[in-house]
Amino acid sequence: MNEATIASAERISTCTAALASGADSWAASRAYFLRGQAHFDERDFEAAVADFSRFIHSYPSNVQGYQVRAAAYLRQGNFDLAIADRSRVIEIGPKDPLAYAYRGEAYGAKGDFDHSLADLNKAIEINPNVKVAYCLRGHAYIAKGDVELAIASYNQAIHLDPDFKAAYGGRAAAYRLRGDLDLAITDHDQVIRLDPQSAPAYFGRAMVHWQSGSLSQSLADFDEAGRLNPKSAYAVLWHEIVAKRSGQPSRLAEAATHLDMTKWPAPIVSLFLGALTPERVLSAADDADPKRRKAQVCEANFYTAELALQRGSAEDARQSLDLAAADCPKAFVESWAATVELKGLGARR
């Protein structure tokens, strides 16, 4: 039986019972691995890491154990630990192109795009047919602002696999950044044909429709993105932005009941609900982790500007948009959207 077809809670219960029964060492190690996967599916990454670590203790040369623990570390934001695990995979199999590709992914998540590109290029050097390396390289190029190189890399990934959803989604973002909105729409359409349940594809297409001024189409796509993923605060925020600009009634208060209002970007949602001031949102954006702080301050500035636009305060909006355009990471939607809004404000002067 394929364990993945069993509900994660049931897998956790079964594995816990097996461990409590005093299973032999091989069975216990497998139970830890399977329970770790179930915890991962439940998004309990701390528990997943603990179980994968027990498995690795028994099998210190097992590549799969390090890879799944690295994936859990990435979800936790423990990028250095993820890189360390993927470096261990390379030590075990120095000729494995995927080992370099996945460490490149971890470097990219950390924001170290030079090391990311070095690993991804190494993966391609070992095996020019590793499609995921081209796709991840496209993501790294976008983050560095090299749009043409990103498109070329995504093209290579799609050449290797014409049904590669992630590559179409990445290329759509690159086309959008280049201003080729029709091509961006075509790529988002392709993702949706391949996966009609892809909330990110609807979100991405909605953003392109927003830039082109097709607000009714944008709103319809944000509706679908929110339906597919009602816990996405960004889909909720953008639906509110486009609805207000279209003269449609707000649904923010009801949508917010489905969100986790204990973590970022909950303060921005509270800002739009009138429960927080922009100053309080900027204060909430502060964080001991400089990378997280940069991201949250970027978003605080952008969405504060959007609220100012709704209230007719163009000069306040311009100041916050200038900050967002200058400081947001290039891969962030808010970086590109701030530039679009500034152009619109300039045209209205």
One-letter-per-residue 3-state SS of 190-241: HHHHHCCCCHHHHHHHHHHHHHHCCHHHHHHHHHHHHHHCCCCHHHHHHHHH
- How does pLDDT run across 153-187, given as a tens digit for each residue? 999 999 999 999 999 999 999 999 999 999 999 99
Range 48-64 average pLDDT: 96
> Quick one: pLDDT at residue 3?
60
At residue 349, does pLDDT exceed 70?
no
> Quick one: pLDDT at residue 2?
54
Q: 100 and 83 in contact (C-beta within 8 Å)?
A: no
Mean of the per-residue pLDDT values of the chain: 95
CA distance 235 to 228: 10
Return the closest-CA partner of residue 181 out of 205, 149, 164. Answer: 205
At residue 347, does pLDDT exceed 90?
no
CA distance 67 to 60: 12
> Quick one: pLDDT at residue 331?
86
Q: Give the other-Cβ count within 10 Å of 183's Cβ.
A: 17
CA distance 240 to 218: 11
Return the closest-CA partner of residue 240 out of 217, 284, 273, 202. Answer: 273
> Quick one: pLDDT at residue 346?
81
Which CATH number applies to 129-196: 1.20.1090.10, 3.30.300.130, 1.25.40.10, 1.10.3720.10? Answer: 1.25.40.10
Return the closest-CA partner of residue 143 out of 121, 119, 110. Answer: 110
- How does pLDDT run across 195-209, given as a tens digit for each residue? 999 999 999 999 999
> SS3 of 260, please?
coil
Query: The pTM is what?
Result: 0.89
- State the pLDDT confidence band at 1, using cuts at 50, 70 and 90: very low
Q: Which two tokens stand for residue 135?
A: 């796709």
User: Could you tell me which residue, 237 or 330, shows the higher pLDDT?
Assistant: 237
